[in-house]
Structures are given as structure tokens and as C-alpha cells.
Amino acid sequence: MDNNELTDMLQVFFECNKNRLEAVRRYSVRFPDREISDSKIFQRIETNLRNDGSFKKPKTQKRKFSKDKELDVLLAVQENSQTLTREIAHNIGVSKTMGTTGKPKATISSHFNMVNNSYSVARRIELDTKHHIACLPNPLFHAFGIVINTMAALHFGTTFVIPGIGYNPNESLDAIIEEKCSVLYGTPTMYIDLIEVQSQRKENINPEILVTGGALCSVHLFKNMLEVLKVKKVKSVFGQTEATAVVFHSLPDDDLYHSTATVGYIGNHIEIKVIDAEGNVVPFGKPGELCIRGYVNMLGYWGDEEKTKETIGADGWLKTGDLFILEKTGYGKIVGRLKEMIIRGGENIFPKEIEDFLNTHPDIMEAYVIGVPHARLGEEICAFVRLKEGKSLNHEQMEEFCKGNIAHFKIPRYLKVLTDLPKTASGKVQKFKLKELY
């Protein structure tokens, strides 16, 4: 992202967040080789408005134009935004889903969705407690980078550091050291790579808060985050692009169990229910499909009314496609994606349990499990693994590791060792491409 692209993004934020001027005025962002202050951003916004012919001098009775340029620009943005059509003014963002199970879909979010969800996230991450410096390696075209990172930072004047154009764990570690980052963001895969690099370099870092989301994170990986990255707190954010960004997230005072074994506590002003295949609500502690209703729900899929109606019912409930367990306390646990469920000889198997166990193997860096066709059983289990440098693993060794620790029918029939796994730009593994590699 270059400076002009960043300015465009912030301009949209200013237009939809006019009532939070103090947070906007404290904004700053750092790149590895330069810093952009709020004054430069405001200058670019004014230039953009003038160049497209839509800039109007704000109507103020007591103020002459340009005595307070920042305020003038904000007033002009406010006035000019009223000339937008109602639809454009309401629909701020079109974000693509991650495309981990198939072709990405474009979701439409409103100002209200994104501003309020990012504010809730910022409070739970504790960005309101002090001036934080956050390391942001996530791509800025997705809900994680837009809502959880960028917009959340703007609410409380958080400085965020962009380590590089694309994700590189060495660049991230350099940025954490040089900029003294107190908050770290990333997907589980990003942290796997960052932990590996820090294990080799053994740098003196002391971040306070680590936030992970975008994919399922194992308890074993959380343990490595705490031990290797030396963070004081780990936090989960869980949701989906169809629900703006975040639905469940860790509370500021969560203990270790709730921080690592759950995806957090339900977000404010959101309704959820967990249902069975017939649509009946299941008891607390029982798995079922997670459904969401509230301000976070997307307005719909861009240009796909049929898919929108399939996902969001007439009663406003959004079906997530996630197999989920809701505890009586309001905390949640992910079992897996319904689309990823493996049916082996009549047994329903969810990859997450197997993946979490395989990831505890001392030679495995990351493991992913899919179902593959089988003539007699319908489907069999195939594990794809990426090993630590210099390590090797065969199927017999993996099978021996699994025996007595997971059910025999959950032990992968096939093992594929890869040096690189197919991933999205945000670091999530594309399982439909793993099927193509089988």
C-alpha cells in the first residue's frame, strides 16, 4: 500500500466517523522507512477533494477558510458527503471473503457495521488504556486488516507499524524490535513463522498483547506464543467477513483458559444461537451451527441476491457455516467448518481435532487435514504437513505418534509432506487447493 492508497482509505474513514474528531486528530502511521503524520494526511485529503471538483468551502459564520485547515477539511468532508447518494453513503465497504474453501465472495458492509465493530474490538484489545504501537502484517484489503487493525487503531490514536509490502516474519520481527511494538496482530500461520524466526534469532522483545484471528488457533500454538514471543496476554478474535469482522473476542481480564481454549466472549449488542440440522436450538455445551443476528450482519453479497437470501433468513439470522459450542458463561468454542467435515464410513470427523494434535509433534511446523475420496468408506483422511527445517517424517512415524492419543478412525490414512502450502494473502491455507494436490 502506498501513501495515496492509505490516504484514500483514511478519507473514507473520516467521512463515516465524523463524530470522533479527537481520535482522528491523534492519528499517525509508520512504515519501516518513513512516518506519515496527520497533517500530511489532511493535506492529501484536501488535495483529493479539490482535484475531483467536489470540494466546497465549508459554511462557517465565524471562521475564515484555512485558519484551521484540519477542521476546515473535516467540515468540507462532512458537507460534501451529503451530496453522495443514499446508497453510496450507507454502503462503505466491499470486502472479499478469504476463499479458503472456494471462490471468494464480495460482502457489503455499512458505515454502522464497520465503525461500531472496530470500536468494540479496540476496547476489548485494550487500545483505550494507553498509547500503543501495533505491528500490522495483515493485508489491508480484508476485514482483519481494515476493521480489526486499521479502524480499531484510529479510535484511540494507536500508532500502527506496517513491516513490509507482504508478510515476511523477519521483517515483522525487525519492526517489533525497532519500533518497540506493544501489540502484535496476525493469523495463526503468521505466528507459526514468527515463532520459528524468533526461536532462531532469540531477540530481546517484550510485547504486551498478542491478537490472533482469521483461522483456528490451537492451545499448543498459544503456549508457544507466550513462551517464545514473551507476550503478557494473548487474545482471540473470531467472526467472519459476512459479520463485518468480529463476533466473539477475548475480554480484558480473561484468564489463561478463556484466552487460549475459547474464541472469547460474545460481542456487545449481538444475538447468537446454535442450531441443529433441523433448525432447533441446541443446549449449552452441545455443538451445532452458529447463527448471528445484529448490527454486524452484512448488507448482502455484492450482485448475488440468491446467495444473500440463502445466508441470511427473513428473520435476520445469518448462518455462519461454523460448527460451534456455546458455553453457559457466554464464551464460545469452534469445532470446525461444516463444509470441511469428513464423513468416513458413517463417522463425522472434523479436521480441527486432528490438526491440533498433529501440531504438537516436535517436527511438525503446521498441519492441515482434508477428506479425500475412498471407494469403500466414502472419504478417508489425508494430512498435509510442513516440517521444521532439517526434519523428516513418514506415515509410519506419524501413525505411531497418533496411536493411543486420538481415536483409531481419526488417524490419517495418507500423509503429504510439503515445503510450501497454498495460502491466501492473509496466510490462511486454501484447503480446496490441497484437494487438488492430493
User: Quick check: 121 pLDDT over 50?
Assistant: yes
Looking at residue 366, its pLDDT comes to: 94
> Which segment of 91-100, 141-150, 314-323 scores lowest on mean pLDDT?
91-100
In the numeric block, which cell numbers belong to residue 283?
443446549
Cβ-contact 358, 385 below 8 angstroms:
yes
User: Quick check: 67 pLDDT over 50?
Assistant: no
Distance CA 137, CA 377 (A): 42
Distance CA 237, CA 239 (A): 7
Which domains are present in the chain?
A: 3-84 (no CATH), 91-269+323-337 (3.40.50.980), 341-437 (3.30.300.30)
CA dihedral 26, 135, 226, 419 (to 10 degrees): 160
Looking at residue 51, its pLDDT comes to: 52
Cβ-contact 111, 126 below 8 angstroms:
no
User: Quick check: 49 pLDDT over 60?
Assistant: no
User: Quick check: 100 pLDDT over 60?
Assistant: no
How many residues in the chain? 438
- Specify the higher pLDDT residue, 373 or 84: 373
Looking at residue 70, its pLDDT comes to: 43
Span 22-38, average pLDDT = 40
The pLDDT tens digits of the residues spanning 2-14 come to 445 444 445 544 4
CA atoms within 13 A on the CB side of 137: 31
Span 289-297, average pLDDT = 94
pTM: 0.73
- Measured in whole angstroms, the distance separating CA 154 from the mean position of its chain's CA atoms is 17
Looking at residue 91, its pLDDT comes to: 53
User: Quick check: 58 pLDDT over 60?
Assistant: no
Looking at residue 410, its pLDDT comes to: 95
Cβ-contact 342, 331 below 8 angstroms:
no
Looking at residue 4, its pLDDT comes to: 54
Span 127-147, average pLDDT = 90
> Which segment of 53-57, 95-99, 161-165, 250-254 scores lowest on mean pLDDT?
53-57
The percent helix, strand, coil of the chain (3-state, each to 5) is 35, 25, 40
1 confidence band (pLDDT: 50, 70, 90): very low
Looking at residue 427, its pLDDT comes to: 75
Name which of 186, 12, 2, 25 is nearest 109 in CA terms: 12
